[in-house]
Amino acid sequence: MTINQQFDVIITGGSYAGLSAAMALGRAFKHVLVIDNDDPCNKQTPHSHNFLTNDGKTPAEIAANARLQVQAYDTVQFFPGLTVSGRQTADGFLIETDTGEAFTAPKLIFATGIKDMLPDIAGASDCWGISLIHCPYCHGYEVKNEKTGVLANGDMGFDFARLIFNWTSDLTLYTNGTSTFTLAQMEQLQRRQIPVIEKKIVALEHNRGHIEHIRFADGDTTAVKAMYAPSPFEQKCRIPESLGCELSEEGYIKVDAFQQTTIPGVYAIGDAAAKMRTIANAVSTGTWAGMSISKKMILEGF
C-alpha cells in the first residue's frame, strides 16, 4: 500500500452532500479529496422535486452540474473509486480504496448515504424510486389522486396511510401477511374507506419500473399506479462504525450540531446522518459541515 497524498479533508461520497461540503471547504482554501464510485441511491429516480431552482430535473443532471461547479476550484480533487477501509493514525486518519490507493487527512467526512432493504418481492428493485416510492414530499404530487397502495403493517402502515391520504383518497393498505392493526386503527381506516389487503404479494408487474399490477400468491392481481413502501435500511458504508462512530436507535450516524460524529475529526452528512432524505437537506448538511470544519481548522492554525 502506497500513501499517495495528504489532504486537509477526505470526503467519502460525491453526491449532493459531499459536493456541498467540498465546495465550502475548497472556497476556504482547504485541500480536499472527494472519493466517489458513482452509485447514488436515487440513480433510478426519474425526477427530483422540492429543491428550489432545480424542481423537476433528474437527480443525475443536478449532480453533474454540481460536480462541474465544484471542479472549478483547484483546491478540490476527485478520485473515482470505493472507500473500503479507514483507521486512525497519529496525525489523523488513513483511508484506503478498493484499488489499493491510500490517502491521509486530519478530518474525514462521510457522505455515504443509506441502503434500503427492499421487500422480497419480484420487481421491487426495478420499481424502486420510480413507482415504488418512500416519500410523498418527493413523489406524491406526481401521483396525486391516483390508485395507490401502501406496503406496510402495524403502526408504521397506519401512520403512513394517514399521511398519504392527503395526496389521494384512492388508497389501499397491503400488509403482505396478517394485519397487526389495532381495533381502533381498523375502525379509523374503515371510516376513511381504506381497504386492508392481507394477501401475500409475490410480484410487482411493471413496465420499465412503472407498476401496472400487484400479483398475489393466490394468482390474483390488482392494478395500482404507485405504491409507497417505508422500508428498513442500513448504513451503506460501515467504515464510520469501524472507527467507533455511534449510531442512533433508528440506524443513523449520530452527529452534533456541527455534523461531527462521536469520534472527533469524523463527520457525517446527508442521508447517513439525517432522517430527511432530500437534496435540500443533503446540501444544507454538507455546506454546514464544510464551513464548520474549515472554520475550526483556520482558528486552530492561527
- Domain boundaries defined on the chain: 2-116+232-300, 124-228
Phi, psi of 295, deg, nearest 5: -60, -45
Q: Which residues contact 102 (CB under 8 A, 6 or more apart)?
A: 1, 2, 3, 4, 94, 95, 96
Residue whose C-alpha cell is 431552482: 53
Cα separation, 18 vs 67, whole angstroms: 10
Mean pLDDT of 177-198: 97
Phi, psi of 202, deg, nearest 5: -110, -20
Mean pLDDT of 275-296: 95
Query: pLDDT tens for residues 9-49?
Result: 999 999 999 999 999 999 999 999 999 998 887 888 888 88
Cα 289 from chain centre:
17
* CATH 3.40.50.1370 holds for 124-228: no
Burial of 188 (0-12, 13-18, 19+ CB in 10 A): middle
Look at the domain 2-116+232-300 and name its fold.
FAD/NAD(P)-binding domain (3.50.50)
Say if pTM beats, i.e. exceeds, 0.75: yes
- Do 2-116+232-300 and 124-228 show the same overall fold? yes
